[in-house]
Amino acid sequence: MEAIRSLLSHVRTTGIAPGHFPGLLHVLIGRTITQMNGEVVSRGVTWRECAALLKNARIDPDLVRSLGQDPADLPPRDREKYWYIALTRFPVGGEAARSSAVAMGPWLSKAGLLVSDLG
């Protein structure tokens, strides 16, 4: 789980998330992530775990706009609930999220991570 926290921190500091936030969610929730040496980082997290990770990493809440949502429609005080509701309203397994995840593939490789079944 520490590698995922590091990945989210890296995402926040490098600014990759605004363009590929749907893909990031697709990867975190639905794919196996491994390091280049083959060590498994994650086999996918639950929506609740993902919401907690996004909250703790202090990911910009305005990124929900890239999911087609308005931040004003989400609970403003409880960030974990905010992210959880945003995740439940977005088709994380949909084609748009998958396409975004595929586009993130080279960036993830540069970060030393491999993602299963991205094609």
Q: For residues 9 and 1, is the Cβ–Cβ distance under 8 A?
A: no
The answer on pLDDT for 17 being more than 70 is: no
pLDDT band at residue 55 under the 50/70/90 scheme: very high
Please state the pTM of the whole predicted model: 0.89
Write down the pLDDT at residue 119. Answer: 56
The answer on pLDDT for 105 being more than 70 is: yes
pLDDT band at residue 1 under the 50/70/90 scheme: confident
Residues 6 or more apart from 75 whose CB is under 8 A from it? Answer: 81, 82, 85
What DSSP assignment string belongs to 72-87?
A: GGS-SS-HHHHHHHHH
pLDDT band at residue 64 under the 50/70/90 scheme: very high
